[in-house]
Amino acid sequence: MSVGRGFAAAEYVIVGDLGDAVAEGEVILSRSSAVLGSSAEMSRTRIAEGRFRLAGEVSPESMGRVSLSAKDVEGHSRGSVQFILEPGEIQVGYGGRVAGLTAEGGPYNQRVVSVWRDTSDYRSVLADYARVMDAKADLEDGPERSALTEEAIELYNELTRIRRDALREIAMADDDPLASLFAIEMGGLGGTAALDRLDQLQAVRELPAAATTLRTRTETGIRMSETAQAVQVGSKVKGFSAPGLNGEVYHLDDLLAVNRVVLIEFWASWCGPCRAEVPTLKAAMAQYGERGFDIFAVSLDDNREDWEEASLEDEISWTNTCDFKAYDSPIP
């Protein structure tokens, strides 16, 4: 398939069977990135008797990474899945409480996602992770639960490593520039390495619009990283306030007044690396929360549904705020 102006669009069809896991509710399809930026809703439809169907047109120019999220009738998140939007049929199912939604179908999804997700190594670690998370859910706070948390963190990091290493290999391969682009979108490369690889790919062929968006977001991330590195250790953070999920406004100064250390955590629903650190943050809260440590989270989302869904999915228990202004926010 060649990418270029004037090529005809083709139909995509997303067919879902979530069974009793989500018998009634709705699914939302949005375009997002694993690097930096916001999400934009593309389509949504109702779930009836566990089934749904979404269809539309996708041109070579508009192919790229998207996210599909499911909510029950009460609006509670029941998981999400990322895949490559491409012509053809994508089948969405439910893989359990830990695995969440799954997506199958399409040559680029096979090339970029299934190639690592369906390996015996990944499936084995995922099964161990699910076992530990199920065991942890039945325990009260204590030494046994803390030990399981540590084990869960190690397993989660191993899942992340398998995924990252596979995506990096695809991103650097020379056989298919589109597969390389989609692997970068999924988090295979970041920072200047991603920009350098995009330059190489664009020298070979014209790429979809996703490449331009990805470049802009990556450049923004690099600038933010440079700004963060410029902050001196020991400097005083300027106080700020932001609303939480319940609408209440939270003030950083209030947390500073009653704690010895407050971690200001900037994150977003679309930031895979940020969300990968949630188990580590939970472990820190469990170990140091009663000794004067707390977390003040600031989301860079600009869409409430995305923020709320990710917050509930990750079970964030600390102060969690968002003003929906993303990078235009006055929050330092």
Out of 79-88, 272-281, 322-331, give the one with best mean pLDDT. 79-88
**What's the pLDDT score for residue 87?**
94
Task: Please give the pLDDT value at position 2.
Answer: 37
Q: Which CATH number fits domain 10-106: 2.60.40.1120, 3.40.50.20, 3.40.190.10, 3.40.605.10?
A: 2.60.40.1120
For β-strands 88-94 and 101-104, DSSP reports them as antiparallel
Decide if 62 contacts 87 (C-beta within 8 A): no
Q: pLDDT for 237-268, tens place per residue? A: 778 899 999 889 999 999 999 999 999 999 98
- In this prediction, residue 7 carries a pLDDT of 42
- Convert 50-62 into a string of H (helix), E (strand) and C (coil): CEEEEEEEECHHH
Architecture label for domain 231-328: 3-Layer(aba) Sandwich (3.40)
Say which residues have a Cβ less than 8 Å from residue 71's Cβ, sequence separation at least 6. Answer: 22, 25, 26, 27, 28, 77, 78, 309
Q: Of the given ranges (100-109, 112-121, 195-204, 272-281), which has the lowest mean pLDDT?
A: 272-281
Domain boundaries, the chain: 10-106, 120-227, 231-328
pLDDT band at 118 (very low <50, low <70, confident <90, very high): very high
pLDDT value, residue 201: 94
- Does the predicted TM-score (pTM) go above 0.75? no
Residue range 42-49: mean pLDDT, rounded: 94
- Give the mean pLDDT of 72-79: 81
Q: How far, CA to CA in Å, does 109 sit from each of 82, 105, 167, 249?
A: 10, 6, 12, 42
Radius of gyration (C-alpha) of the chain in whole angstroms: 20
Residue 49: the pLDDT is: 96
- Whether the per-residue pLDDT at 4 is higher than 60: the answer is no
Provide mean pLDDT across the span 283-295.
93
For residues 248 and 321, give the distance between their C-alpha atoms in angstroms, rounded to a whole number: 9
Residue 1 has pLDDT above 60, yes or no: no
Interior/surface letters 292-307, b for 16+ CB within 10 angstroms, e for the rest: ebbbbbbbbbbbebbb
pLDDT for position 330: 72
Under the banding of pLDDT at 50, 70 and 90, the label for residue 6 is very low
Regarding beta strands 64-72 and 101-104, do their DSSP bridges make them parallel or antiparallel, or are they unpaired?
Answer: unpaired
Name every residue whose Cβ is closer than 8 Å to that of residue 108 and which is 6 or more positions away in sequence: 63, 84, 86, 178, 179, 182
309 has a pLDDT exceeding 80: yes
